[in-house]
A and B are shown apart, each in its own frame.
Chain A
């Protein structure tokens, strides 16, 4: 008989306890970040508005990828580092230039600390954002940190093709190819000139021997 009344007493006291907690939750500040109005990418606004209890997005958030082609030496290390082949890079020869970022100081290779040398230029740099898993391995492998994760996450599209990020526009590609063909022409001309000079010397030597 005791268990019968014990059941009733427990039932009421524990329910009473639970209800007091859910009633109390109504009077504590809500933790909802009203997304479209509140800009969550900046840590300051969130920290100030929610008195530090919530944090906005950190700087190293792994969002949509972005490539700074001025820093890219087309070394295709990121293409190899990506476990699921989301990145495709085509590159052609171009004239040797030393990389320098905005304020002129030379860009160093992060791992070997030597100056980054650009010998090839990129004609196609596509990232398949529909397949990418945002793991950050490409960003960690890139020697000149040309490829980075931004804080950007709003990129809803209506079809899968639109989710492909293409970083090399057609006219840039055209000028690059034109430049490449010029370089080949010069190289061919130089080689021909060298070959002709070598022939002349051989002819001179043969002449000298007779």
Chain B
């Protein structure tokens, strides 16, 4: 009904400091009352110029920076950077088997804690604070395990070029197995608390539907892509490290509580990926061989001239490292293409005609992390 009344759009500033934008992202919303007419994300509030710093830091000196690129799953970004450098130096086959298995165990543990934060933050945005705190409690156990392995809680700097810095302490394997048995039951319990809750399902289902074609066009990756029904996982389709001799399957969205590719599908893909990660770690704990944990690498690393683009599956999709080396001790160009960057680029398209409360749900379901976005 075209009303004669001339109405104007309210421009709201969902500012850099907002409880539900994870980190510092600002949305300039043109809203008609509660319904968003146009949403323009303004990113870059955490742009720390990592790629410019990379040009003046040595190859092995850059590893601590990869922790800060994606601090929720620091171990996975360590892994993808170190494997990219190893591919550039052509030494993938020299990494000892035990180091490969330790790398997989530790990064899958980190994937569980990253998905825990992603799911917990999505629940917190919907107003349920308790599941988030339950996930924090379980995450504390994972922090203990990883701290036991490498000495730091969040920024590990544990995986280095050629393997891992030090071997796992003897009690690590039995404690991880014990933790997994406990965590498997508690995750089901938290899901009963929130993921299958009717109010929660109503808030997440049929919101911001991303059809498969649009997901590919915007190059969504990881759980966001699999939420739209496309079965693609770098660990399965382009296996690296020891993933080829581990069997696990890839959960994809199937329109459980609404249409295919809505927020609830992306959310449930993460919930099921936790179960897959538990399966992977259990297999690794059984198959881990004894032996060296670090290949012999010269102290000053000088990769041969050339460039490489290497992808690994981090919790937020396949993080790709583009390295261009001129044979010097520091990279000429280093570009990190992360999952949140493309996840964020789709928001202006799917946030049209949606409630403000739903924009919060979209951010939660796309699992955006500010530093990965701005680097």
Contacts and interface: CB of A to CB of B under 8 A. Distances in A.
A contacts B directly (C-beta below 8 A)? yes
Contacts of B140: 31, 54
Contacts of A53: 141
A17 B155 contact: no
A83 B61 contact: yes
Interface stretch (A91-99, A130-138, A158-166, A185-193): A130-138
Contacts of B147: 55, 57-58, 61
A11 B151 contact: no
Contacts of A22: 130, 193
Contacts of B169: 58
Interface of A: 7, 10-11, 14-15, 17-18, 21-22, 25, 31, 53-55, 57-58, 60-62, 81, 83, 133-137, 140-141, 149
Given A18-B194, A55-B148, 20 more contacts: A14-B197, A14-B198, A14-B199, A15-B197, A54-B140, A54-B144, A57-B147, A58-B151, A58-B169, A61-B151, A83-B57, A83-B61, A133-B64, A133-B155, A135-B64, A135-B157, A137-B60, A137-B61, A141-B299, A149-B151
Interface of B: 57-58, 60-65, 130, 134, 137, 140-141, 144, 147-148, 150-152, 155, 157, 165-166, 169, 189-190, 192-194, 196-199, 299
Contacts of A57: 147
Contacts of A54: 140-141, 144
A11 B152 CA distance: 43
Contacts, number: 75
A135 B148 CA distance: 15
B196 A55 contact: no
A208 B368 CA distance: 91
Given A133-B155, A134-B152, A135-B157, A11 B199 contact: yes
A44 to B, nearest CB: 14
Contact of B64 (A14, A58, A61, A83): A83
Contacts of B166: 60
Nearest to A17: B192
